[in-house]
Amino acid sequence: MKTPVKEQDPKKRIKNFEEVCLGYTEAEAIKESERCLQCKIPKCVEGCPINIDIPAFINLIKNKKHKESCEKIKEKNNLPAVCGRVCPQETQCEQKCILGIKGDAIDIGKLERFSAEHDQKKKTKIKENNKKIAVIGSGPAGLTCAADLRKLGYKVTIFEALHKTGGVLTYGIPEFRLPNNIIEKEVNSIKDLGVNIETNTIIGTTITFEEIKEQYDAIFIGVGAGLPYFLNIEGENLNGVYSANEFLTRINLMNAKDFPNSVTPIRRSKHTVVIGGSNVAMDAARSARRLGSEVTIVYRRSEKEMPARIEEVEHAKEEGIKFQMLSFQNKILGDKNVEAIECIKMKLGEPDESGRRRPTPVKDSNFIIKCDQIIVAIGQGPNPLLVSRTDLKREKGKLITDENQQTSDPKVFAAGDISSGASTVIKAMGDAKKAAVAIDRFLNK
């Protein structure tokens, strides 16, 4: 049976933004590591998008070699403390674990987090080659590509539009899931390699894309998905309607949760409705709950089809968040401000292109949920600000890349949401590592 991990009590945590999961103690981590079968052909490694040697780092924990365990992870992963907290291990490495067939898979994520706590500053020997790489965006893809290229001897500069580094890790994920000090620690370890980071720099405004191309030998773009999708229904322009992107950015990046002590305000509502079933929807719902609101999540399918991690759904339920499943938004009601939302009940039919059963409306099943705030969390598209200022080929806003993450311009590579669409942190990192290898190959023909 999986070794349980301690968490903040739900009654206490809904009144703060401190981390919910408290992580393993040494004794708990060793106990969990002892369950690993050390398979000769480890399927868990196949399930990891960056192919971490999972049995090896777990075995090092078992033998109390915690520093070495972290070093083993960092051979492939530059952000172990981040990935140990936010990666969907249950659908990747843990899903492949042999123990999961008849029981509980190894809790690989919690063990990775434990190892990351024993990270030591280690001087990396770098053989300089004097070639310059520009990395646009300091999210997981940008940080990963920058670190890998720096280790190969390139002079790397990251350009970040915001005033803080981390991209979606900083503006999109609440501190109760990923504390800011953890992100800062991971970023600092990449800075220690010699990576230069320029914040408050918008490519196309502060400096043109053409200027970047002239000054650098190659460019990597990892600006993520910054364009929120909306509902396009009546009443969506009423006061009290947020995109999840704006709501979470205000709280996470602008510290609006401490208003009026911070300069950025945030609405504190009595009853919030969140539209969507993703991790972003859970983050928005749980953040609103911590601001004192009653919260209802409206999702058009059943809980089984929700894309959010099981752990996040369970945490939301523990925190008193209600789930209105098999329901779809019709229109938002109110005069100037949100007063309610009208929904219609749904039933599931045959699977659609996503593989999930398609929801269809139930006739005459309309109902109303009273609320004074609505957060729309139905996804987001590629950031249009940069790509629109280049002549790079794109489709539906996404940059077109080949199997090596190379764009229509041989000098420019891209990975993450800007090329693949909204995905996971670890998928973006995996593609960024592939891009780093391709850039190195491109510059050393």
Regarding whether 235 and 340 lie in a shared domain, the answer is yes
Contact 113, 85 (CB under 8 A): yes
Alpha-carbon Rg for the chain, nearest whole angstrom, is 22
Handedness of CA 204, 209, 212, 217 (dihedral sign): positive
Instruction: Enter the pTM of the model.
Output: 0.94
Helices 279-290 and 310-318 cross at an angle (nearest 10°) of 20
Instruction: Please identify, among 348, 376, 404, the residue that sits at the C-terminal boundary of a domain.
Output: 376
Task: Identify the residue whose tokens are 């020997």.
Answer: 125
- Average pLDDT across the chain, whole number: 94
Residue 414 lies in a domain: yes
Instruction: Please identify, among 324, 346, 376, the residue that sits at the C-terminal boundary of a domain.
Output: 376
DSSP letter at 407 equals -
Regarding whether 160 and 80 lie in a shared domain, the answer is no
What are the tokens at 315?
A: 């945490």
Regarding whether 263 and 191 lie in a shared domain, the answer is no
Domain, as residue range, for 165: 132-225+382-443
Regarding whether 324 and 386 lie in a shared domain, the answer is no
Mean pLDDT across 163-181: 95
CATH number at residue 236: 3.50.50.60
Mean pLDDT across 29-42: 96
Regarding whether 242 and 288 lie in a shared domain, the answer is yes
| Helix, coil or strand: residue 180 | helix
Q: Which residues contact 393 (CB under 8 A, 6 or more apart)?
A: 399, 400, 407, 408
Regarding whether 189 and 270 lie in a shared domain, the answer is no
Residue 248 lies in a domain: yes
Instruction: Please identify, among 327, 347, 376, the residue that sits at the C-terminal boundary of a domain.
Output: 376
Residue 126 lies in a domain: no
CATH number at residue 94: 1.10.1060.10
Number of domains in the chain: 3
Regarding whether 372 and 251 lie in a shared domain, the answer is yes
Mean pLDDT across 206-224: 94
| Helix, coil or strand: residue 39 | coil
Q: Which residues contact 31 (CB under 8 A, 6 or more apart)?
A: 3
Would you state the pLDDT for residue 354?
76
Regarding whether 91 and 75 lie in a shared domain, the answer is yes
Would you state the pLDDT for residue 124?
79
Largest Cα–Cα distance in the chain? 70
Would you state the pLDDT for residue 121?
78
**Nearest CA to 226 among 14, 2, 80, 422?**
422
Regarding whether 254 and 168 lie in a shared domain, the answer is no
Residue 1 lies in a domain: no
Would you state the pLDDT for residue 7?
97
| Res. 314: pLDDT tops 80 | yes
Regarding whether 246 and 187 lie in a shared domain, the answer is no
